[in-house]
Amino acid sequence: MKESIKWVRNTMSKTDSVPPMALMTEEAVKKAWNFHRSFPCYQVTPLINLPHLAQRLGIRALYLKDESYRFNLHAFKVLGGSYAMAQFIAQKLGQDISALPYEVLISDAIKKKLGDITFYTATDGNHGRGVAWAANTLRQKSVVYMPAGSARARLQNILKEGAAAQVTDLNYDEAVCFAHEQASKDPQGIIVQDTAWEGYEEIPGWIMQGYGTMSYEVHQELTRYGVSPTHIFVQAGVGSLAGSVQGYFAQAYAAQPPVVTVVEAAAADCLYRSARENNLVQVAGKLQTIMAGLACGKANTISWPILKQHSACFVSAPDWVAAKGMRVLGAPLRGDRPVISGESGAVTTGLLAAIGEHDAYRDLREILGLQRDSVVVVFSTEGDTDPERYRSILWDGAWSSV
């Protein structure tokens, strides 16, 4: 028997707090987008219309943002790391990021002014690969620590980008602490982490703004289509991506904000538990889940106020939900475009499919107000970054049940 999906409606007290939302204004996000599009390899990633799946699930439209094409790194994470690193460099140089596009950042003159910097981070794979790629691109160094159980393919991808990388015997949150310690000991070191804690908030804020490039692209494309989203499903580890997406779209569609559902791995559902308890809760232990990118037990303290204020629902999803999403996208209904989506990328589609197909989740469907006129956006945040596991799920039916 499958482990059940759990959810909690957001009944937390709201405030008129402006500062958290100020992080994700259109002006701030457009500055990140302008930086990213200065890269020669920049292309808008596809926003894929899945009309036949939408019809099957009883909604008007379903749009999927496919980040498997991002900078040829097969995941969205590079958007945050690269922008935060560039902002850090701009700050050291006393300049605004808008004056430092790609061609300027990689110049001999900038390298001479900066000297050597080593960017440290902890990662399950995608964020670390993005940091390693960006550091290499910017002619700097990187050191990457990975939690226990990280896929060898993801480690190899990071090493190929020129980083010093290793798999530790720590869980994700412990690896973050270790990376922070190592960076603090290095006179040229700085940690670039996509979560925040007291005293470490500026760089995570830049990372969230960097993620905003993805939301900005979606908004622009939906506007061209003459469509406004009624619902958004977004996955969460520490909540940086979810806070970025929620913060941007709540302002982009201020007159009628979309209903946002935050989806976590059941083994690391710190936001779901925090919403249930109306207080930040940390999940300890090994955090074992196939959704490696979501295996984070401690919430980002600067994204949580945004999620608490605006999100409609928090969902704790077992691994079979992600596996179902991968199969739904990889073997689509006739006429829909196939999408190669990894475990962390497909969980939102898997949840939407489960809600649409199973009476057991009718209450959740009603709470969210999913109807025949609903226009839903989901984010496939990664491709097959662990190819062996991807094939085991698509070809062999792994994690179809528990």
> According to the 3-state scheme, what is the secondary structure of 209-243?
HHHHHHHHHHHHHHHHHCCCCCEEEEECCCCHHHH
8 Å CB contact between 248 and 29 = yes
Active site residue 160: no
The pLDDT of residue 16 is above 60: no
Give, as one character, the DSSP assignment of residue 75: B
Q: Does domain 6-75+204-394 have CATH number 3.40.50.1100?
A: yes
Per-residue pLDDT band for 232 (boundaries 50, 70, 90) equals very high
Tokens of 174: 């412990």
pLDDT at residue 21 in the model: 75
Strand ranges for 16-140 from DSSP E: 47-49, 61-66, 118-122
- Give the Cβ contact number of residue 210 at 10 Å: 30
Among the listed residues 31, 65, 77, 141, the single catalytic one is 77
Longest dimension (CA), the chain: 63
Provide CATH 3.40.50.1100 ranges for the chain: 6-75+204-394, 78-199
The pLDDT of residue 205 is above 90: yes
Chain center to CA of 78: 10
Whole-number Å distance between alpha carbons of 225 and 246: 21
Among the listed residues 31, 65, 124, 194, the single catalytic one is 124
Mean pLDDT score, 340-368? 96
Q: List pLDDT tens digits, range 149-171.
A: 999 999 999 999 999 999 999 99
Percent of the chain with pLDDT over 70: 98
8 Å CB contact between 230 and 376 = yes
Q: What are phi and psi of 207, to 5 degrees?
A: -60, -45
Q: List pLDDT tens digits, range 305-344.
A: 999 999 999 999 999 999 999 999 999 999 999 999 999 9
Strand ranges for 25-117 from DSSP E: 47-49, 61-66
What pTM, to 2 d.p., does this model score? 0.96
Active site residue 116: no
Per-residue pLDDT band for 86 (boundaries 50, 70, 90) equals very high
pLDDT at residue 14 in the model: 75
Percent of the chain with pLDDT over 90: 95
pLDDT at residue 20 in the model: 64
Whole-number Å distance between alpha carbons of 26 and 68: 24
pLDDT at residue 17 in the model: 56
The pLDDT of residue 177 is above 90: yes
The CATH code of domain 78-199 reads 3.40.50.1100
